[in-house]
A and B are shown apart, each in its own frame.
Chain A
Amino acid sequence: MAANMKAVKLRIKSVKSTMQITKAMELVAASKLRRAKERAERSKPYFDILHKALTEIANGNIDFSSPYAQKAKSDVWCYVVIAGDRGFAGGYNNNLFKRLESEAKDKAYCVLPIGKKAVEYCKRKGITLVTEAFSEAGGISVADCFEMARLLCREYKEGKYGHIAVCYTEFKSMMTQIPDLKRLLPLTELIDNTTQEEKKNYGQILYEPDSSQVFDVIVPEYLAGLIYGAMSESVASELAMRRMTMDAATKNAGEMIEELNLYYNRVRQAGITQEITEIVAGAEGN
C-alpha cells in the first residue's frame, strides 16, 4: 500500500510541474498575442486596399506585354507557406499543411517555407524548396518580405514557376483561425476571385510610362505587401491558438490532479482504517 501511495504522490508532483509549464506558456502567448493582434489589425487595411487595387487593375487590364499580366507559362506552382517555429499550438501547423496538401494535390509545385515547422515538413515530404533563408518566422521584417518578393519575381520571370500563391492562417478572431490560400500571380488569377456582379468594366487604364515598367515596380511591392500581411495574421493566429491549447492543457492538468488527490486520500484512508481494525482485533485477542 505504501509503495502505491508513493507512486501516486510522485505522479501528482509531475503533473503539477507540467501544469506550471503550460500555464507559463499560456501567459507568454497571451501577452505576445496582444501586440501581434495590434500589428495584424494595423496592416489589415494595407492588405485589403492593396488587394483591391490590384484586382481593379487586373480587371481593367487589356495590355498583356508584362509577364505578370500574361497567362501562366508554366504549370508549376510556388507556394509561400507560413507556419510557426514551434509546436504546442494545437492544430496550427497541421491544419495549414493539410490545407496545402488538398490544394496542391496533382500539381507540380515547390515551396518557399517560412518558419521551422514548414521547413521540416517540406524536407520530410521531399518537396523542392525555393530557399531556406527565411526559416525563422519570428524574425521576419518588412525588409525580409521585400527580399522574398524580389526573389519570387526574379524566378517567376525566369519561368521556374507560373503561379504563386500564399498559404497562411487567417486570424478571424481570438477564438477562430482558419488556414487559407490566396493566389497572387499571375494577375489574371485575381479576376477569377471576383463574382460577376462585382465585375465592373473600368475601361482602359493609363499606365505611365508603360504597363510592363509599371508592373515591374508594383508587382514586387504587391507581393511583399501581401506576404507581410499574411505573415502578421499568421503570427497572431499562432499565438491565439497556442494560448487556447495551453489553456486547455492547464485545465486538464488541474482535473487530473484533483482525481489523483481523491485517489490518494482514499488509499490513505483505507490504510488508516485497516490499521485501526488490526489494533482493535489485537486488543480483543488479549
Chain B
Amino acid sequence: MNTFRLQIVTPDGLIYDEAAERLVLRTMTGDLAILAGHINYCTGVGMGEARVVTADGTVRRGACIGGMLTMVENECRLVATTWEWQEEIDLERAKKSKEKAEKALAGGGLSDKEQKIMEARLHRALVRIGVKGE
C-alpha cells in the first residue's frame, strides 16, 4: 500500500511523525478516512475514536478530541487539542469524570456555559471509555 507522511501533534508534544497507510477519525461532519494521494484537504476535527494504520500494517487506536486536519501534498497534519493512545487512557479517571458530569447535568441549574462545559466533559469521557473498552 502507498503511504503518506502523518504528523499528529498536541500542546503536550509531538505524538506521531512517521509514514502511515491510513488514518480514520471523526471530523466535524462525520467519520473520514485519509489514504495516500488524498486531495488537498482541510477540515475541523470532532471528538471520537481515531485509528492509525502504520506503514507496516498495525492498527493503533486513540481518542482524538478537537483540532484541525490538513492534507497538503501528501503530507497530513493533525493538530489535535488532546490525543491519547488506547494504552495511555486512564479508564478510572474517565469513568469518574463521566459520573461527575452526569451528576452535574442531572442536577440542573447550570448556566449555559457550564452546561456546555459539562456536556463536553461527558462527551470526552464517553469517547475515552469507548476507545479503551474495546
Contact = CB atoms under 8 A, between A and B. Distances in A.
B68 A42 contact: no
B59 interface: no
A46 B32 CA distance: 23
Interface in B1-57: 7, 9-14, 27-29, 32, 39-44
Looking at chain B, what size class is its interface with the partner chain? 20 to 34
Interface residues on A, range: 20 to 34
A204 B71 CA distance: 12
A129 B69 CA distance: 34
Nearest to B17: A45
B43 A60 contact: no
Contacts of B32: 208
A228 B77 CA distance: 19
Contacts of B39: 206
Contacts of A214: 28, 42-44, 68
B42 to A, nearest CB: 5
Interface stretch (A48-56, A80-88, A130-138, A252-260): A48-56
B16 to A, nearest CB: 11
A46 B70 contact: no
A53 B40 CA distance: 12
B79 interface: yes
A272 interface: no
A225 B79 contact: yes
Contact of B12 (A43, A56, A57, A200): A43
A29 B40 CA distance: 46
Contact of B73 (A49, A142, A202, A213): A202
B42 A205 contact: yes
A142 B80 CA distance: 13
A208 B41 contact: yes
Interface string B56-99: 00000000001110101100010101000000000000000000
Given A46-B9, A222-B68, A60 B79 contact: no
A200 B43 CA distance: 21
Contacts of A50: 9, 79
Contacts of B10: 46
Given A43-B11, A43-B12, A209 B29 contact: yes
Given A208-B27, A208-B29, A225-B79, A142 B67 contact: no
Closest 5 CB pairs of A and B: A217-B44, A218-B68, A45-B14, A42-B13, A205-B40
Given A45-B14, A46-B14, A60-B40, 14 more contacts: A46-B9, A49-B7, A53-B72, A53-B79, A56-B72, A57-B72, A60-B72, A206-B39, A213-B44, A214-B42, A217-B44, A217-B68, A221-B66, A221-B79
12 contacts: A42-B13, A46-B79, A60-B40, A142-B11, A205-B40, A206-B39, A206-B42, A208-B32, A218-B68, A221-B68, A221-B81, A222-B68
Interface of A: 42-43, 45-46, 49-50, 52-53, 56-57, 60, 142, 200, 202-209, 213-214, 217-218, 221-222, 225, 228-229
